[in-house]
Structure 1
Amino acid sequence: MASEDRTNYVYEFTYSSAPGLREIFQCKYVRPDEALNRFRKILALTESPFDFKIIVSDETMGEESSFQVKGGSIEEMFVKFKVFLETSTGFIFEPVSEKVTEVGIEEARFESMSNYDKMQVIIYASFKHGKFSSLDVTEIYQDSFSEDLPKSTASTYLARMWNNGKGHLERYGNRSGYTYRLRTEIAEVQKETERAEEILAAIQMRVRD
């Protein structure tokens, strides 16, 4: 680490990777932007993280600041953590043009998305009409992302999405072969559909490039 990049800060990031399971990531003496970038890479390894907390300690001054985010999206959490780091350390993140910011957000969004997240994008963007099965999801997923998604994994993810309490999916059939329908009559589903279409279009352009 170059001497001009060394700081006196210790960063501790805490998040939940599952109910009752907390993960802790710590790094020392790097700049706030580097600390946030490292945390982003660590977080990308977790399927659906939630309940985030950051603690920043200044070893020279003996000061400590913390900030916690419950709920919300990962993107919103990073925006809030960035503002918190600027406030608590005085570090100013380098400004970027609006165009670069948009590209960066889409790239970071793609890199941080889990297979489960990407499957949800496929469902909201591709199955607005009629019923579908895990096999249908697998085929479109593989075509969209050029990645394999086993049918058994898609079945597990669909069951999780159906059972997450949001009520966005209806399920038909039995364990020998479930089919699902996206409840597009719900306003929240319509918003998710619009968002998913935008994300999928951006990701597909990136994958094809």
Structure 2
Amino acid sequence: MSEEIRTNYIYEFTYGSGPGMKEIFRCKYVSPDEALKRFKKIVSVTESPFDFKIVISSETTGEESSFQVKGDIDEMIQKFKVFLETSTGYSFPETKIDASSTSSPELDFEAMSNYEKMQVVIYASFKHGKFSSLDVAEIYESTFNESLPKSTASTYLARMWDEGEGHLERYGNRSGYTYRLKTELKETQREVERSEEILSMIHLQVGK
């Protein structure tokens, strides 16, 4: 393994490989991106129902984080990505929403990631005033009829503020952040218009 991608993290996956059978898989010193790839590979060869316990420990600090996840494959992968980001500080590359998708007669919104859908909600629903992760989670759930934990919304908001296009302002501290869209920016206004179009198409498809 090349030195440039070596980390001090140890990953341990405990999961059921069959009725009454438990397996433990460990990998050391790989990047969070590589850990995600290995998790996907394990899931692909594991029979459902899925029930994973994942432990990430750092040899440098001795800190340990654990996580248990169940559900369908896509949901587990998305939750594991969030867990990796919050546990290691790593940020996966952001997937941009394709503006050309708004011109399609059928928008496959189910193929959008939770993070992409949350961005649509923010741009389309919070054009005025400040908002919190709880506000985002509530609008997300009413829009897509699926839950978004407040902790996940908080993580996504921090990521959008830290890595985004500078469209968000943040106020407060760790005990409670609020955000505001910089709608005075032309770039933000374009994102607002695009997200409103996407949301309109989603409402039309859901209403069919």
TM-score category, normalised to shorter length? 0.5 to 0.7
The answer to whether the 8 Å contact 2:33/2:92 transfers is no
Give yes or no for contact 1:145–1:204 (8 Å, CA) kept in 2: no
Give the 4+ runs in structure 1 shifted more than 3 A: 18-23, 45-51, 71-76
Task: Determine the C-alpha separation between the residues in 2 that align with 1:164 and 1:203.
Answer: 26
Aligned length: 129
Alignment root-mean-square deviation, CA? 3.4
CA positional deviation for 1:195: 0.1
After superposition, give the CA deviation of every residue in 1:85-131 in whole Å (9 maximum; x if it has no partner). Answer: xxxxxxxxxxxxxxxx8323x1x3x1320000000000000101100
**TM-score between both structures, scaled by the size of structure 2:** 0.53
Residue 194 of structure 1: aligned partner = 193
1:39-188 equivalences under 5 Å are 102-104=104-106, 106=107, 108=108, 110-188=109-187
Aligned to 1:95: none
Q: Distance in 1 between matches of 2:34 and 2:163?
A: 17
| Distance in structure 2 (CA, Å) of the matches to 1:135 and 1:22 | 28
Cα separation, partners in 2 of 1:111 and 1:162, compared to 1, 3 Å: same
Q: Distance in 1 between matches of 2:176 and 2:126?
A: 18
Alpha carbons of structure 1 residues 22 and 136: separation in structure 2 relative to 1, 3 Å: closer
8 Å Cα contact 2:127-2:183 kept in structure 1: yes
Mean Cα deviation higher: 162-171 or 150-159? 162-171
Deviation of the 1:20 alpha carbon:
7.6
SS at match of 2:199: helix
Which of 1 and 2 has greater Rg?
Answer: 1
Residue 205 of structure 1, CA deviation:
1.9
Identity among equivalent positions (%) equals 59
Q: Give runs of aligned pairs for residues 33-44 of structure 1, distance below 5 A.
A: none
Residue type at the aligned position of 2:125? S
The secondary structure found in structure 2 opposite 1:181 is: strand
Gapped regions of structure 1 (runs ≥ 5): 1-17, 24-41, 52-70, 79-100
User: Per-residue deviation at 1:207?
Assistant: 2.0
SS of 2:169's equivalent in the other structure is: strand
TM-score, normalised by the number of residues in structure 1: 0.52
Is the partner of 2:163 in helix, strand or coil? coil
Q: Equivalents in 2 of 1:22, 1:114: separation in Å?
A: 16
